[in-house]
């Protein structure tokens, strides 16, 4: 419980855990007034180091006995048929420490039986992870994007349309209260990772649901079709290091030997010859020469057990590394058959596996990157020399790349990134002001840094969404769009006035009216801090915004 000396839950709270308190010694006061109190409610499931799964399992309770550190799934703990060199040194689990990621432990081998969700933390014995008994024979990390959560639950098998269904975007403590009911026979997880519970208030049997289709309750390991409560596992973005690129390089294949961690550009890698790598968050380019020169190899988030997996020949020695910055614009690239952006033009917004196969001439003379970050390959099927391009103009492609042909190309995959938008002129932050229950009264304005959810935004597929309502996106208010039109939030309808392009100089352009950008209204009236669209003006710094990654 949280208890307060002032009414209305004001003042510094004191937290009381289960137990008896015969005097006020715990409060360090001889006398005190308690004027308000409320229960401390459990928040949702969270993960901070989702890209670094790691757990230490101990043979005995309270972290005693033999132990082993694992980073990947265990199909069968007591596998007598496996080779001795790959067999784990213990046959039972008495306690665990989850150092990174979210894991699912199973009662039986082969990921069968009761499921137990393991968040980051320490588990002294089987009661700490909510076990039905001491038996635990398999476990695996949950792989997924924890930044966005959406699923559809169906009362009929195979996503049948005859029954009822419900779109779920957040925590529901009792599905009975929604009118949908407790009967669920199929689920389509569109994004995120979810935990479904047999009983209300997140109790009873639990089932872990990752992105994908579950045509029947047997598919998620259920014994019946009853689901009473659900909650997503979310990335703890506030206070975490999400958005900060982390690269691990190893001196031997299969992530063995010496390890060095890189979090910024490195002009010279001279500690050892790199043989394998792990990109834990973000993306980077590695070069076979110092000072970011020579051949480029783009490494996206993932694991690379050897040089071949990294796209390098076994003889390559990597000499420098550059972090790839976040690019907040929609992918778009234009290729020209003549230098100086002359002649025939080919424009793409999605990956092209084989330019010539689609009927295009692969001989390219100049390139314009209009949005996004692109990887250009010399040959088809992402083969040959590669080059990473950010928004830029290259009037002579051969002079920059050393080759005339482009065989394939693709936009760099980027996870959704949360950020605050700081106005370069005023230093204030774009905020959503108002009640989400009535979007018509909500306005977008600038305010001092409040460190609150209404100042955190995310950009994806041309939409700018507010973190406190990710099913809504930034839009221009009204049907007549002119300079001075105000902004608000609305449900996504794929309307042109909901699409935006963030340029490298910090201006945010409307797709519907390309000459209009976000600006601050100004003046002396009550709405002087409101965010509006205005005609682009190179002299106005109020039209420039700085995205600060959370």
DSSP result, 207-244: EEE-SEEE-SGGGGT-SSSB--EEEEEEE--TTS-TTS
Query: In this predicted model, what pLDDT tens digit does every residue of 416-431 receive, in sequence order?
Result: 788 999 999 999 999 9
Mean per-residue pLDDT for 513-518? 94
The pLDDT tens digits for 304-353 are 999 999 999 999 999 999 999 888 888 999 999 999 999 999 999 999 99
pTM of structure = 0.72
CA distance 454 to 469: 9
Cβ–Cβ contacts within 10 Å for residue 257, how many? 13
- Structure token pair of residue 299: 């490494």
Report which secondary-structure segment, H or E, holds 11: none
Whether the pLDDT of residue 528 is over 80: the answer is yes
pLDDT at 28 over 70: no
Q: Binning pLDDT at 50, 70 and 90, where does residue 507 land?
A: very high
Domains located in the chain, CATH noted: 2-38 (no CATH), 46-141 (2.60.20.10), 150-235 (2.60.20.10), 265-323 (2.60.20.10), 332-411 (2.60.20.10), 417-549 (2.80.10.50)
240 has a pLDDT exceeding 60 = no
Instruction: Give one word for 543, left, alpha or beta, with left for phi > 0 and alpha for psi -120 to 50.
Output: alpha
Residue holding tokens 């100089």?
Answer: 505
Any long-range contacts for 26-32 (C-beta under 8 Å, 24+ apart)?
Answer: 32/5
The overall average pLDDT reported for the chain is: 88
pLDDT band at residue 360 using 50, 70 and 90 as cut-offs: very high
Residue with the bigger pLDDT between 58 and 22: it is: 58
Q: Which residue has the tokens 């703990």?
A: 77
How large a percentage of the chain has pLDDT more than 90?
Answer: 57
Q: Is 25 helix (H, G, I), strand (E, B) or coil?
A: helix
Q: Residue 172: name the closest of 152, 147, 146, 201 by CA.
A: 201
State how far the Cα of 219 lies from the Cα of 187, in Å rounded to an integer: 9
Mean pLDDT of 516-535: 94
Question: Rg (Cα) of the chain, in Å, rounded?
Answer: 27
Helix (H) or strand (E) holding 397: helix 397-401
pLDDT 10s digits, 144-178: 777 778 999 999 999 998 999 999 988 898 999 88
Strand pairing partners for 389?
374
What is the model's pLDDT at position 145? 75
**Over pLDDT 70: what percentage of the chain?**
92
- Reported as a single tens digit per residue, the pLDDT across 84-113 is 555 677 878 999 999 988 899 999 999 998
CA distance 314 to 288: 12
Residue range 522-545: average pLDDT? 94
The pLDDT of residue 369 is above 70:
yes
* Cα atoms in the 13 Å half-sphere on the side-chain side of 30: 0
pLDDT of residue 239: 47
Q: Highest-confidence range of 41-55, 136-150, 470-484, by mean pLDDT?
A: 470-484
Q: CA-to-CA distance for 221 and 481, rounded, in angstroms?
A: 52
In this structure, the number of other CB atoms found within 10 A of the CB of residue 453 comes to 13
């Amino acid at each position: 419980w949280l208890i307060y000396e002032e009414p209305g839950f004001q003042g510094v709270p004191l937290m009381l855990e289960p137990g008896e308190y015969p005097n006020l010694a715990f409060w360090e006061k001889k006398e005190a007034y308690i004027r308000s109190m409320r229960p401390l409610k459990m928040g949702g499931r969270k993960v901070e180091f989702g890209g670094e799964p790691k757990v230490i399992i101990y043979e005995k309770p309270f972290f005693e006995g033999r132990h082993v550190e694992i980073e990947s799934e265990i199909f069968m703990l007591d596998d007598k048929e496996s080779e001795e060199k790959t067999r784990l040194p213990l046959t039972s689990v008495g306690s665990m420490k989850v150092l990174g990621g979210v894991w699912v432990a199973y009662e039986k081998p082969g990921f069968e039986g009761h499921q137990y969700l393991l968040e980051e933390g320490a588990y002294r014995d089987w009661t700490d992870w909510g076990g039905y008994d001491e038996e635990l024979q398999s476990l695996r990390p949950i792989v997924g994007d924890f930044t966005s959560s959406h699923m559809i639950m169906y009362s009929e098998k195979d996503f049948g349309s005859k029954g009822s269904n419900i779109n779920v975007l957040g925590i529901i403590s009792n599905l009975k209260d929604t009118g949908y009911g407790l009967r669920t026979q199929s689920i389509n997880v569109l994004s995120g990772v979810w935990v479904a519970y047999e009983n209300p208030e997140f109790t009873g049997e639990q089932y872990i649901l990752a992105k994908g289709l579950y045509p029947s309750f047997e598919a998620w390991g259920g014994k019946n079709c009853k689901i009473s409560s659900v909650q997503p596992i979310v990335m703890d973005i506030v206070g975490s290091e999400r958005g900060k690129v982390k690269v691990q390089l190893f001196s031997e294949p299969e992530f063995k030997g010496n390890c060095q961690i890189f979090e910024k550009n490195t002009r010279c890698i001279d500690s050892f010859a790199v043989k394998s790598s792990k990109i834990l968050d973000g993306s980077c380019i590695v070069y076979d020469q110092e000072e970011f020169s020579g051949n480029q190899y783009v490494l996206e988030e993932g694991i690379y057990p050897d040089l071949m997996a990294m796209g390098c020949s076994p003889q390559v020695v990597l000499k420098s590394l550059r972090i790839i910055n976040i690019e907040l614009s929609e992918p778009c690239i234009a290729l020209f058959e003549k230098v100086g952006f002359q002649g025939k033009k080919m424009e793409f917004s999605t990956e092209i596996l084989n330019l010539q196969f689609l009927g295009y001439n692969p001989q390219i003379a100049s390139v314009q990157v209009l949005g996004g970050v692109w990887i250009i390959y010399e040959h088809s099927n992402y083969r040959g020399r590669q080059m990473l391009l950010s928004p830029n103009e290259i009037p002579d492609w051969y002079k920059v790349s050393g080759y005339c042909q482009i065989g394939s190309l693709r936009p760099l995959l980027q996870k959704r990134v949360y950020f605050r938008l700081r106005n370069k002129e005023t230093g204030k932050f774009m905020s959503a002001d108002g009640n989400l229950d009535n979007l018509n009264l909500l306005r977008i304005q600038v305010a001092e840094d409040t460190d609150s959810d209404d100042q955190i935004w995310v950009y994806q597929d041309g939409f700018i969404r507010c973190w406190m309502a990710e099913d809504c996106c930034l839009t221009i208010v009204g049907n007549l769009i002119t300079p001075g039109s105000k902004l608000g939030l609305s449900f996504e309808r794929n309307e042109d006035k909901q699409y935006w392009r963030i340029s490298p100089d910090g201006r945010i352009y409307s797709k519907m009216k390309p000459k209009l950008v976000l600006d601050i209204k100004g003046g002396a009236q009550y709405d002087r801090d409101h965010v509006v669209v205005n005609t682009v003006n190179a002299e106005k710094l109020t039209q420039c915004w700085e995205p600060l990654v959370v």
